[in-house]
Structure 1
């Protein structure tokens, strides 16, 4: 009888532990008929980053403290391979972090979008995921330039990430990436810096404004400010950025956007420009137009068109596809 009671107590204790922990799975699958900007031919494809499956875990440690992890695997459904079929992307390209959260905010360690890179594309109606994308604010800048050769770095890096609680609409985030990291060259160049990213924002009702800066390990620096406002029948917004390069001419960029929902139909438009801050020459301009048709809250069909000009040449691209989130 005693052994039975001990065993029962162990089962109850185990059940309580499981009740305080959870793992969820979500993600998106996106595929369509795509003619990439500058390409002569169309193909069955999706923009890098459009497809991923995420594993999110959390454990209630008591006293308002929680442990959590995120593992996000990006993939290419047209090939079945890792995201970016031709780029040999790493496993868990989307994110691989572990951390703690509570009344103090949240801290996570690992590879993720930095405090700056996560919100900086808020004024792109397509979130960088379609040919119409007008995400020009970070043009010419790389958070993890050492990994740019295989297109694996971009806005993600191994770092310590902190996000604050929300104080009456105000919030802030910071990322710190040490100069010595997993992919550091040997020997480490004397000019290598610690990576630092900052972002602060205010959101209240229809208004969102935010701004921040980032310095990468090669001492390139970028500053950006943006805002959006929901007018009820339409959301409008715009952003501006200044890029100061350690090597090469500095840049200025700006974009504007409008998103108008009409029942199940969503009309999108955006425009952006990038200029050489020294010569004043226009490096590129981008016009994007698109429409989504919401079949449900989680499934839509879409079409978008992008026209990109680089100095004297114009290139176009388009996509027609379906996106399902789960």
Structure 2
């Protein structure tokens, strides 16, 4: 991680003297450059056959980011984040080729009042999932079987977000996205919120997100609740969500899991059940097991295996084959800087 300190307004000092002002506080800006490079080799076997691939960003998405903060005085700061996603296996840009496809926002942050940010950001419901999923980002996480996240809805464009102050065990955030459709304010808009508790040994979260279609007449709604309980030798995880709307969809997902911390590593396991109440022969379940070993504070090795039993009408992408049993195994390395 590279941090640069800039006296952003120092060049104004001569001008201040010319106008007879006795003093002026030069605002201090801190800019941090950071990133993650994550690569793995995976073996996937589906109803269509098996394939061995080099995959990009399995444990954590590959990124190169810039984060900045300027102290404006009185506990108020200007903040920004620009985060590019890329694929290390072939050097291409991720998120459909966007320059800063992972995140791109600017805003104001107050220690006592919270922060307001404008731009492309993560939805509160996706961040809520990360707090309780034993497989955040790895094979076996909840995004592998949840259709709502498979549609790419965990990042939101044109978003106005509020993040509550983080000076207590309680957390909260809200987001509203402008649909930007002329003559129809409801079309393509999104909004959501999340509230949580981050105490010890209990962590809990409740979140909601709504997405309007491009006419504003139909909407997809997801409710998510989850928690974790850490007793030291093992951490238990549980989550449940319900997605409705968007063509009379009614999908329920339930997850139970655990994390076993070791000296420089941890073992993860989870079971996820997907049930479609609106369609027959459309359920699925996933069993996953993973291991992470920290070589240092910045470098880790990992491996994970997942099995998906996918009914014919489930819509879960088991290697592109519905009604198939999907098995996947990977081993990789992740480095942060």
> Would you say same fold, with TM above 0.5?
yes
- Cα offset, 1:36, TM superposition: 4.4
Structure 2: stretches of 5+ with no match in the other structure: 1-10, 18-23, 214-218, 312-322
Match of 1:197 among 192, 195, 206: 192
- Cα offset, 1:171, TM superposition: 2.0
Distance in 2 between residues matched to 1:283 and 1:55, nearest whole Å:
41
Q: Using a 3 Å threshold, how does the CA distance of structure 1 residues 255 and 89 change in structure 2: closer, same or farther?
A: farther
Q: CA RMSD in A?
A: 2.9
> Do the aligned residues in 1 keep the contact of 2:126 with 2:154 (CA within 8 Å)?
no
- Cα offset, 1:257, TM superposition: 1.4
Match of 1:66 among 53, 59, 77: 77
> Do the aligned residues in 2 keep the contact of 1:175 with 1:197 (CA within 8 Å)?
yes
Q: Using a 3 Å threshold, how does the CA distance of structure 1 residues 9 and 158 change in structure 2: closer, same or farther?
A: closer
Corresponding residue for residue 50 of structure 2: 40
Corresponding residue for residue 177 of structure 1: 177
Alignment deviations for residues 154-193 of structure 1 (CA, whole Å, 9 cap, x no partner): 533221000111464222110001222xxx5xx6668626
Matched, 1:56 2:67: yes
**TM-score of the pair, normalised by structure 1:** 0.84
- For this pair of structures, how many residues does the alignment match? 302
- For the residue of structure 2 that corresponds to 1:118, the secondary structure is helix
Matched, 1:240 2:226: no
- For the residue of structure 1 that corresponds to 2:26, the secondary structure is helix
Matches within 5 A, 1:144-183: 154-166=154-166, 168-180=168-180
- For the residue of structure 2 that corresponds to 1:132, the secondary structure is coil
Structure 1: stretches of 5+ with no match in the other structure: 1-6
Corresponding residue for residue 211 of structure 1: 206
Alignment deviations for residues 54-105 of structure 1 (CA, whole Å, 9 cap, x no partner): 1001100011100010001011111111126xxx331111100000000210
> Do the aligned residues in 1 keep the contact of 2:162 with 2:174 (CA within 8 Å)?
yes
Corresponding residue for residue 224 of structure 2: 224
**TM-score of the pair, normalised by structure 2:** 0.81
- Cα offset, 1:245, TM superposition: 1.8
